[in-house]
């Protein structure tokens, strides 16, 4: 089977367009899967990298109630708004005397 160059390019463009659409759909599904009430959820690994803290420190923040978390199918998640609140409360300078 022989096809000319222009036909081949047209097929490749259609194929790439469809792959782009699939990629967009996958990204959207991933965002929906990692959200609750329309809010993004972060897992332990996300938080460890974001805050540059150890796993033990993260565990301590959970244990003392400074950082709310949710367990879904045995995995821990944190709402992005809770993480932002935690950062504001934990890393603001102490008030001046």
Pair 69, 76: CB distance under 8 Å = yes
Same domain, 57 and 93: yes
| In a shared domain, residues 41 and 85 | yes
Is 84 found in the same domain as 49? yes
- CA-closest candidate to residue 59, choices 74, 73, 48, 72: 48
Instruction: Quote the pTM value.
Output: 0.61
What's residue 26's pLDDT? 84
Determine phi and psi for 51, rounding to 5 degrees.
-90, -10
Domain count, the chain: 2
**Domain assignment of residue 43, given as a range:** 37-97
pLDDT band for position 52 (cuts 50, 70, 90): very high
Show Cβ contacts of residue 55 under 8 Å, excluding neighbours closer than 6 positions.
44, 48
Span 12-30, average pLDDT: 89
Do 44 and 69 belong together in one domain?
yes
pLDDT higher at 38 or 20: 20
Q: What is the DSSP letter of 68?
A: -
């Amino acid at each position: 089977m022989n096809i000319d160059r222009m036909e081949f390019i047209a097929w490749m463009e259609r194929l790439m367009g469809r792959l782009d659409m699939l990629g967009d759909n996958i990204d959207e599904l991933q965002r929906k899967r990692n959200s609750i009430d329309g809010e993004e959820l972060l897992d332990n690994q996300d938080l460890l990298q974001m805050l540059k803290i150890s796993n033990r420190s993260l565990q301590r923040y959970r244990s003392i109630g400074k950082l709310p978390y949710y367990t879904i199918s045995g995995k821990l998640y944190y709402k992005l708004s809770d993480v932002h609140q935690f950062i504001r409360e934990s890393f603001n300078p102490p008030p001046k005397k």
